Structure 1
């Protein structure tokens, strides 16, 4: 649901009642993963998507029904062998969708609105919802903010026992801290034992950073692709004549500084992507020496294979270990036969996604390719 937070927050601010359908579990191949959402208001207006088209019509009708009945529903959709045109996923997977009504007022609305506002502002927030358990708890919700560490208001969760709300909040904070969306099994008294409650926790974090070092034409194309992938993109170069807002209007930040000095003074985390496009030893060596010692998601450097071998030699000379060198993606990107800056940016983005998701980079049409969508858990 938080993937459509911007639009849905406006609905909440307008006082609209709406029903939101959220993918809470996926088994097999499916178009979208947990957290994908479709919302419908009383007029039938739709935002979002849960399946890319396969079951949207049925989910739309279910949202209208739930909006009228006022009761949450957990529905499973899968492929129908008996009738290929029946409601289901033609890709062969199974998705579980929780449809929750959000009335014009009440504790649940306040909880949802708080989560939507925080996500729309780019803050760290998790929304936990009970998808299986006692009838009175199903559909109950709890919002947890990244900066909060104290007690929680469990009114919208509907749990009379405060220990349950505290347990749900604790699990939500753990998933939020890891930047993960998924399900947690708890007992009805809140202890960490499977069986009583299944809670779906949806996490939303600020956009991951992409820092592009080297204000060259390839960088301009990579900035555009980085923004398309949802990154907060910074361009850094020591040369003020090249590092200008006019040359990189789509970047979130353009910084004039020595790359290694900027990297040491800026915030990075386990989701940060570092792309070194300078292919100049006086910039590359001190920068990569610092970068390869940071717990970031990706470090890639542009240059030919000859440049790469020379770069490795220089890095070893300044004390970079073999384990640290093994983290370096160089030459940067996947082999797509790219020629233009735009094509190169696509190849870099493809490698970043493959590293993040554990992909092989092989064609999905290959006989031994993994499914287009990886199982991400089931209820």
Structure 2
């Protein structure tokens, strides 16, 4: 729901009822992942997408039914269904979608969810989507907060613990528990949507290519920081799309940052006095992606310098250098596409090859 949160929170504040359709499970080559949402207001307006266009028409009709009845509904759309071609889901995947009516009494915590997302504070929303009794009931779970109820204190406590674990890892999906929260039981299906803080992208080097990478990172949903030691170049005016512009020596700045497995580090300085101490820290960190700009000659020189200060081959293998995929990029914008394409490919296990030359699933 993150993509449409601002719109639905506006409806909520105005007192406009709406139906919220959310992808809760997928199989095979499904076009959207769990958490993708579409909302339909009682006025007929729709925002968001659950399938990239395949089943939106059918979901829109189901949402209108839910608004009329006030009863949540769960529907699967897939190629094996009799009406699969009628709704246009011909990609071979299967989507399970939960549609619930939303208004102020049913979801009083929605403004808190919006505030948490805006403030980069993690929250998870756990909703019963299948089982006896309280389908549609939810709890909103923070690191040390809990509001709402799934039906009982024991169930709330059990699911809150699961949700906090999923939030810590930034995962969204369904869990199965007993009616009182018992583990290894499956009377209830609960959908947990994690609103984890946006992952970090830190771009080092205030050059023209950095501006394009910053824009691309923002487009992909990262919280982007630009860092350079030169105050004349590292300015908010030159990098208006960055969430933060920092004037500091790159390695000193990185040493003071919390870096996790979702963090992306793009080293665009290609100057040994900046690169080597910075990359030494980066390669010892938990960062999920570490890329460095430069020619192949620069790369070999960089590796030599890193080996001289004790970096082993396993650590060096984490370095994406020269940075990006081979797409023939030349301009800053093309280079940014090359870089973020590599980031996406490594995170998702993609090959980076043309889809027309592969036989693997398009959506993993």
**Is 1:79 the equivalent of 2:75?**
no
Of the three residues 133, 140, 144, the one matched with 1:143 is 140
Deviation at 1:153, TM superposition (A): 4.3
- The TM-score with structure 1 as length reference comes to 0.91
2:234 corresponds to 1:238: no
CA shift, 1:54, in A, is 1.4
The corresponding residue for 2:283 is 292
Question: SS of the residue aligned with 2:141?
Answer: strand
Q: Deviations over 1:164-217 (max 9, x none)?
A: 111111111110010011111112221111321111111112221111111111
Residue 271 of structure 1 is aligned with which of 262, 274, 278? 262
2:328 and 2:354 map into 1 onto residues whose CA distance is: 14
Partner SS state of residue 360, structure 1: coil
Paired residue secondary structure (2:95): strand
Q: For the residues of structure 1 that align with 2:356 and 2:263, how far apart are their CA atoms?
A: 31
Corresponding residue for residue 131 of structure 1 = 129
- The aligned residue for residue 377 of structure 1 is none
Q: CA separation of 1:112/1:242 partners in 2, compared to 1, >3 Å: closer, same or farther?
A: closer
Alignment match of 1:193 (pick from 184, 197, 201):
184
Please name the residue that 1:371 is paired with: 361
- Asked if the contact 2:17/2:41 (under 8 Å) is kept, the reply is yes
Partner of 2:241: 250
Structure 1 pair 153/341, CA: closer, same or farther in 2 (3 Å)? closer
SS in 2 for 1:251: coil
Residue of structure 2 in register with 1:349 after alignment:
340
Gaps of 5+ in 2: none
How big is the shift at 1:346? 0.6
CA displacement 1:318-364 (0-9 Å, x = unmatched): 12122211111111111111111111111100011111112111211
**Contact 1:78 1:88 (8 Å CA) reproduced:** no
Paired residues, number: 364
Structure 1 pair 60/84, CA: closer, same or farther in 2 (3 Å)?
A: closer
> 2: distance between equivalents of 1:165 and 1:116?
22
Residue in structure 2 matched with residue 21 of structure 1 by the alignment? 21
Q: What is the distance in 2 between the residues matched to 1:352 and 1:328?
A: 12
Counterparts in 2 of 1:112-127, with a 5 A limit?
112-127=110-125
Q: 1:362 aligns with which of 353, 356, 361?
A: 353
Query: Which of these residues, 149, 161, 165, is aligned with residue 156 of structure 2?
Result: 165
Aligned to 1:329: 320
Change (3 A) 1:85 1:189: closer
Secondary structure (helix, strand or coil) at the match of 1:109 reads coil
Q: Tell me the alpha carbon deviations over residues 208-239 of structure 1, each in whole angstroms, 9 at most, x when there is no partner.
A: 11111111111111111111111111111112
After superposition, the C-alpha distances for 1:88-141 in whole angstroms (9 at most, x for unaligned) are 412121100000111342xx311444334423443211111112211x222221
RMSD between aligned residues: 1.7
Equivalent position of 1:307 in the other structure = 298
- Separation in 1 of the partners of 2:207 and 2:271? 12
The answer on whether the counterparts of 1:112 and 1:143 sit within 8 Å (CA) in structure 2 is: no
1:57 aligns to 2:37 (yes or no): no
1 CA distance for matches of 2:180 and 2:82?
42
**C-alpha displacement of 1:73:** 0.5
What runs of 5+ residues in structure 1 fail to find an aligned partner?
375-379
2:206 paired with 1:228: no
19 and 83 in structure 1: CA distance in 2 versus 1, 3 angstrom threshold: closer
Greater RCO structure (CA 8 Å; 6+ sep) = 1
